[in-house]
Amino acid sequence: MKIAVTNLKGGVGKTTIAINLAVTLTQRGKSVCIIDTDKNQNSAVEWSMCRGEDRDTIQVFSIETDQIKVKTLNDLEKKFDVLILDGTPQISELASRTIVVSDVILIPISASLFDFRAFEKFLTLLEETDKNRIALGLDGVKSYIVLNKINERANISNEIIRGLEKYDIPILNTKLGNRTAYAETALDGIGVTEGKDKKASDEFNNLVTEIEQILF
Ligand SMILES: Nc1ncnc2c1ncn2[C@@H]1O[C@H](COP(=O)(O)OP(=O)(O)OP(=O)(O)O)[C@@H](O)[C@H]1O
Ligand SMILES: [Mg+2]
């Protein structure tokens, strides 16, 4: 199973969701690796370098753009249950390659007007990329929106959510709150389900349960 966390917008939580998904699935007994496609920042690689040796090992591979292809990933998939691709902001060539090679994409969006506008551009890329997949004999990619950094009490969050509901892409029920635990745990090379903030841990576990029910 190849799951990409992608969006052309920067700072929406791609890496945060990718590393936490890897941690939680590992805790649940899956063998998981992360593929860091972001050569400029290598955030997932850096996260893994902060990870203590006493923790479950999660391998993170940094990959060149021209290696993001079906064969390379299928070879890696023989060794792991789940490959999680951490996407790159802005570079549409990289994003479209990532979508072509993945079974599923998770699209993090936070409740900002800028994220909403960027999502409309991302949808255009997704439609074009699906044509490439179909040309390769693949089905269209399954995609889901993950609402991230959500403050339920803010009107803007609710307005953006209503706007997103007009598109065909399903929105996962579990919304991730705006919580310092995400940044703090990342600094320690862990995920929120390994940290002390119970609300963050519970919500992320809920998200992973929902993803597992859809995918496995
Ligand atoms: N749910 C959340 N609550 C609070 N902070 C969050 C949450 N999700 C992500 N963040 C913070 O937002 C910032 C951006 O997150 P992250 O690096 O995961 O985004 P990204 O989409 O990978 O960014 P880039 O496009 O630069 O790769 C980080 O400081 C991260 O700790
Ligand atoms: Mg990132």
CATH number at residue 112: 3.40.50.300
Does 153 score more than 90 pLDDT? no
Tokens 């919304």 belong to residue: 175
Q: What is the pLDDT of residue 67?
A: 93
Structure tokens at 153: 């009490």
Separation of 65 CA from ligand 1 center, angstroms? Answer: 22
Give the Cα separation of 102 and 35 in Å (integer): 12
Task: Answer whether 89 contacts ligand 1 (Cβ < 6 A).
Answer: yes
The verdict on residue 216 lying in a domain is: no
Q: How many separate domains does the chain show?
A: 1
Task: Answer whether 191 contacts ligand 1 (Cβ < 6 A).
Answer: no
User: What's the domain range around 69?
Assistant: 2-208
The verdict on residue 214 lying in a domain is: no
Its pTM stands at 0.97
The verdict on residue 215 lying in a domain is: no
Q: What is the pLDDT of residue 211?
A: 98
Does 155 score more than 90 pLDDT? no
Nearest CA to ligand 1 atom 6: 182
Minimum mean pLDDT range among 3-7, 29-33, 85-89, 114-118: 114-118
Separation of 38 CA from ligand 2 center, angstroms? Answer: 7
Q: What is the pLDDT of residue 185?
A: 98
φ/ψ of residue 141, rounded to 5: -75, 145
Q: Each residue of 61-78: pLDDT tens digit? A: 999 999 999 899 999 999
